[in-house]
Copies of this chain bind each other. A is one copy, B any other.
Amino acid sequence: EAAVAAPTAAPQAAPKKEKKAVKYELKVPKGTKDWADKDMVVREAIFDTLAKVFKRHGAVTIDTPVFELREILAGKYGEDSKLIYNLEDQGGELTSLRYDLTVPFARFVAQNGIQAIKRYHIAKVYRRDQPAMTKGRMREFYQCDFDVAGVYPTMIPDAECLAIAVEGLTSLGITNFTIKLNHRKILDGIFQVCGVKEEDVRKVSSAVDKLDKAPWADVKKEMCVEKGQPEEVADKIGEYVQHKGSVKDMLEWLEGDAALMANESAKTGIEEMRTALPFMESFGITNYLSFDMSLARGLDYYTGIIYEAVTEASAPPTEEQKAALKAAAEKDGKKKKKSKDDDDNSENVGVGSILAGGRYDNLVGMFANNSKKGNIPCVGVSFGVERLFSLIKSRPGLMEKVRPAATQVYVMSMGGGPEYTGFLAERMAVTHKLWEAGIEAEYMYKTKPKYPQQFTAAEKAGCPFAVILGQDEYPQGLVKIKELGLGEESDRGTDVKIEDLAQILKEKIANKTSSVGEVQKLLKDFTL
């Protein structure tokens, strides 16, 4: 019988013989990747952990098609609409791959006339971005969204989204994070009070949003030079947006500002945040929150509270780090031309925000064809699962502990001489008994494998237990259980009756592993 063949030459290794018929260039499309092995296990554990949190809050999940009618996506993403992937017109409807999970959710709510739903959705989305893989910008990537749609009293579901943000991150072993909060109505009020014209609000807002990456002087310059704001307007804005602090302190400060309180929009926003404070306290999350007047968020559709979580590891680099990075890049000879995009600092930041969200009250209404009852307000939070994956994967020691397969027991044969058969059918029968008992078990796909070869395979797979069919013992109805991975203090093994095997192993496995998924537990244990 053939053993596993020797490692093949990688197909790419022989590029010169191109005479044969079809010569494949074996790769995945640009901006996509295969997930496998330990990465896949960790990613699944992240999804399972977050899904469990969402379910704990009573959420249901939905699954929408990967492509939507093109008109559903049209006009929802502003300039980024050019990044939408279209399917070829092969006759019939025009469709496009979904760009996010929010628009399909809004379509689903409107289409089904749903009045109230708490749903989560973990799925792939598609953007024809110029992928620079090292920056983590992919063309196919996962989003992991929780949203509440429904007409409810002020800030109740909003506060639960924040509670879910905190629970989600801590469940993944992430504790050193800050959730920056702000409120679109307060921000709009500030801009009005400072004298920004209605039509300039979005561009001023996007300048303000850069305050986490650039000093005020740079942001002010952008406002005045590029965005044409008078200096005194910029200065007034600067007085507001450089403030941040606890929700309690910031509320006092804002409520003490007569000019703001006289502005209808700001007043409404401030009152909503005041309403939310006891909810945040009930959920025990205030320590994680920073009410940060510079947070603006890019998406146009937000209408109320907005938030974004960062960790130290994901925070933008300091000025010194940036200088060092720049020097290194220049040494590399990679001096790029100055361009319009030069104020995009994304190349320099860490993994960026690890989650974000906010209230968007008008998106479902767009689909409900202006029917008043169909306009269901929404609030949600989206976990940056690809970024969380990078953070978690970088934890020292974690990946070494992760096993690609879940096998708990390796069933082996031991013997020699001319009578030794290798016990293939017998190993199958014993393994089958374990499968029936729900135990993860494997055996070697060889007719007459050597014992050390099987032992090495089991240890390599990280199997905690071996079951050994001895040449003399098995015919007497006995097999040996041996604990693996003990190194020096190797287990000599215990003989048990075959009919007791599954039960004994079940207990041994239960004692060794926790009731939570092994990897989910690892994620919580290996924190930075």
Contact = CB atoms under 8 A, between A and B. Distances in A.
Interface of A: 1-11, 14, 20, 22-30, 32-37, 40-41, 43-44, 55-69, 71-72, 75, 85-90, 92-93, 95, 97, 107-108, 110-113, 115-116, 118-119, 124, 126, 128, 140, 150-154, 156-157, 159, 163, 167, 278-279, 281-284, 366-371, 373-374, 376, 404-407, 424-426, 428-429, 432, 435, 438-442, 445-447, 461
B4 A69 contact: no
Contact of A150 (B140, B284, B445, B447): B445
B152 A1 contact: yes
Given A66-B140, A115-B4, A60 B128 contact: no
User: In the complex, which of the residues A33, A56, A150 has the most CB atoms of chain B within 10 Å of its own CB atom?
Assistant: A56
Contacts of A278: 425
Contacts of A57: 435, 440, 442
Contact of A32 (B67, B167, B439): B67
A153 B1 contact: yes
A154 B132 CA distance: 46
A426 B284 CA distance: 12
A116 B167 CA distance: 39
Contact of A441 (B56, B118, B151, B428): B56
Interface of A, secondary structure class, is loop
A28 B526 CA distance: 42
A279 B425 contact: yes
B56 A36 contact: no
Q: How many copies does the complex hold?
A: 2
21 contacts: A4-B150, A8-B113, A11-B110, A11-B368, A24-B71, A24-B366, A25-B71, A29-B65, A36-B108, A43-B63, A56-B406, A56-B435, A56-B438, A60-B405, A66-B140, A85-B87, A87-B88, A90-B128, A153-B447, A156-B424, A283-B432
Nearest to A123: B124
A152 B118 CA distance: 49
Given A28-B65, A85-B90, A432 B371 contact: no
A58 B463 CA distance: 10
Given A33-B65, A88-B89, A4 B151 contact: yes
A5 B68 contact: no
A425 B282 contact: yes
A169 to B, nearest CB: 14
A167 B433 CA distance: 12
A279 to B, nearest CB: 6
A278 B432 CA distance: 13
6 smallest CB-CB distances across A and B, nearest first, come from A1-B153, A8-B373, A32-B65, A282-B428, A26-B111, A86-B88
A151 B3 CA distance: 7
A371 B445 contact: no
B113 A10 contact: yes
A442 B118 CA distance: 11
Given A1-B152, A113-B11, A153-B2, A107 B60 contact: no
A369 B63 contact: no
